[in-house]
């Protein structure tokens, strides 16, 4: 199959998932073409069967804002036409699904009917798409896609309750590449972060308000008062400066490491003892799943798709949003007893294995074939 993938090339979940899907499909022998405005964050090595098509911007005094969507549509048309793609898989409804519809209509004038699959990731529905400025376009784009997937059952329900959805939405979970995310011996990292054998708490996010990173710090403050502990904060974003100020205010700067964006996040997860994700909204919780694959139990909020990833009382604990007291209690209940900690570690890993990329990629392959056959009657082996 020749597959086009359109995504945001950032550290956000949708870009990560889109890139990993493409890389996984390329390993299985498919030809994958990424169409985006710069190299995706995890597309950092040469890969056989993988091609990158960057969207060029055009500066012109008449344009106060560069018309990226128009340039993207033109690039989609060009790649589909000249690379003879079988399908386009776009991630994030706004603007990618809308732009894909425009590209599809243009291609039809060239007697090319390209199937479009749109994957919804969360904030494109709960935040952006539901905004009145984008609502009609988001709804139209979803219904105009040939296939629609969501990353959790909760997001499917949310999409169907937010929009008048005419499409049958398929749930295909996010996944883990166990060749990358696994427990490894990184004692030199652990000693550098916790030289006296302290427990290590970790949080990974893009530091937006919805991630409630201040709750992570409050939980750590309560835990650290009873148990020697260090905190690794991985990622960056608009809330980072405020979080640094909070650390200074509570006097824990020496115990907290702001590590910024990390390409090899798995090497840091490998030394962690507990992962905390107190988000106000998570449509899936990919960061939590990556931690679980590295045998790290998770204490998280109980919203969105997180209960489908983090099994309460087994792989970690679910708590109410903002309840930092209970979160701290749950963290301590896991870390204070070595046998309990190991039980949660093992269960987290076992549950994460059900999301192995090798289980998920065939689901995408079958779905692509189904959509292609429905659109243009082409049957792929």
Look at residue 378 in the predicted model and tell me its pLDDT.
85
Cα 107 to Cα 86: distance, rounded to the nearest angstrom: 13
Angle at 152 between CA 321 and CA 311, to 5 degrees: 55
Q: What are the residues facing 88 on neighbouring strands?
A: 4, 116
Tell me whether residue 242 is in a domain: yes
41 half-sphere exposure, CB direction, 13 A CA radius: 18
Same domain? For 37 and 104 the reply is yes
Angle at 312 between CA 327 and CA 324, to 5 degrees: 10
C-alpha gyration radius of the chain: 22
pLDDT digits (tens, 9 = 90+) for 288-308: 999 999 999 999 999 989 999
Same domain? For 58 and 110 the reply is yes
Distances (CA, A) of 124 to 189, 265, 329: 36, 25, 34
Look at residue 252 in the predicted model and tell me its pLDDT.
93
Look at residue 294 in the predicted model and tell me its pLDDT.
95
Same domain? For 245 and 342 the reply is yes
Tell me whether residue 287 is in a domain: yes
pLDDT digits (tens, 9 = 90+) for 19-39: 899 999 999 999 999 999 888
pTM, two decimal places: 0.86
The CATH number of residue 368's host domain is 3.40.50.2000
Tell me whether residue 112 is in a domain: yes
Same domain? For 34 and 130 the reply is yes
Tell me whether residue 180 is in a domain: no
Enumerate residue ranges in the chain where pLDDT < 50. none
Q: Are strands 87-91 and 2-6 parallel, antiparallel or unpaired?
A: parallel
Same domain? For 369 and 348 the reply is no
Same domain? For 339 and 305 the reply is yes
Nearest C-alpha neighbor of 7 from the set 45, 39, 41, 36? 36
Cite the DSSP H helix spans in the chain.
Answer: 13-27, 68-83, 98-108, 123, 135-144, 153-162, 187-193, 213-224, 240-250, 265-269, 286-293, 306-309, 324-335, 338-352, 357-376
Cα 105 to Cα 95: distance, rounded to the nearest angstrom: 16
- Answer whether 97's CB lies under 8 Å from 145's CB: yes
Same domain? For 218 and 77 the reply is no
Tell me whether residue 182 is in a domain: no
Question: What torsion do the CA atoms of 342, 346, 348, 353 make, to the nearest 10 degrees?
Answer: 160
156 half-sphere exposure, CB direction, 13 A CA radius: 15
Look at residue 183 in the predicted model and tell me its pLDDT.
80
Query: Would you state the structure tokens that stand for residue 160, as one six-digit string?
Result: 């169907």
Look at residue 229 in the predicted model and tell me its pLDDT.
96
Same domain? For 18 and 161 the reply is yes
Look at residue 57 in the predicted model and tell me its pLDDT.
75
Structural domain including 11 reads 2-175+357-376
Same domain? For 145 and 208 the reply is no
Query: Would you state the structure tokens that stand for residue 245, as one six-digit string?
Result: 């100020």
Query: Would you state the structure tokens that stand for residue 371, as one six-digit string?
Result: 């959509």
Cα 172 to Cα 150: distance, rounded to the nearest angstrom: 6
- Answer whether 230's CB lies under 8 Å from 193's CB: yes
Same domain? For 140 and 212 the reply is no
**Total count of domains within the chain:** 2
């Amino acid at each position: 199959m020749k597959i086009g993938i359109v995504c945001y090339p950032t550290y956000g979940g949708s870009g990560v998932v889109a890139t990993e899907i493409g890389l996984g499909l390329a390993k299985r022998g498919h030809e994958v073409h990424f169409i985006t405005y710069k190299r995706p964050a995890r597309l950092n090595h040469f890969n056989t069967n993988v091609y990158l098509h960057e969207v060029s911007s055009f500066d012109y005094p008449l344009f106060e804002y560069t018309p990226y969507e128009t340039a993207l549509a033109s690039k989609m048309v060009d790649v589909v036409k000249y690379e003879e793609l079988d399908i386009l898989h776009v991630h994030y409804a706004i603007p990618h699904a809308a732009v894909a519809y425009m590209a599809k209509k243009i291609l039809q004038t060239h007697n090319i009917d390209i199937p479009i699959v749109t994957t919804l990731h969360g904030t494109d529905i709960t935040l952006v798409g539901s905004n009145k400025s984008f609502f009609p376009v988001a709804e139209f784009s979803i219904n105009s896609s040939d296939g629609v997937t969501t990353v959790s059952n909760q997001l499917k329900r949310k999409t169907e309750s937010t929009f008048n959805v005419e499409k049958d939405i398929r749930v295909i979970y996010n996944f883990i590449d166990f060749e990358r995310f696994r427990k490894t011996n990184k004692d030199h990292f652990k000693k550098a972060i916790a030289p006296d054998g302290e427990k290590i708490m970790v949080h990974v996010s893009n530091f937006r308000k919805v991630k409630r990173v201040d709750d992570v710090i409050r939980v750590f403050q309560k835990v650290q008062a009873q148990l020697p502990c260090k905190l690794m904060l991985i990622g960056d974003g608009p809330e980072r400066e405020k979080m640094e100020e909070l650390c200074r205010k509570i006097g824990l700067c020496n115990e907290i490491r702001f590590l910024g964006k990390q390409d090899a996040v798995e090497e840091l997860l490998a030394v962690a003892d507990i992962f905390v994700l107190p988000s106000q909204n998570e449509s899936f919780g990919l960061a939590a799943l990556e931690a679980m694959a590295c045998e790290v139990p998770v204490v998280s909020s109980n919203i969105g798709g997180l209960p489908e990833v983090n099994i309460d009382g087994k792989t970690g604990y679910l708590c109410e949003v903002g309840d930092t007291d209970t979160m701290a209690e749950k963290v301590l209940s896991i870390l204070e007893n070595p046998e309990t900690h190991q039980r949660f570690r093992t269960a987290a890993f076992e549950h994460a294995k059900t999301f192995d990329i090798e289980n998920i990629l065939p689901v995408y392959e079958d779905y692509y074939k189904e959509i292609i056959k429905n659109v243009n009657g082409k049957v792929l082996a």
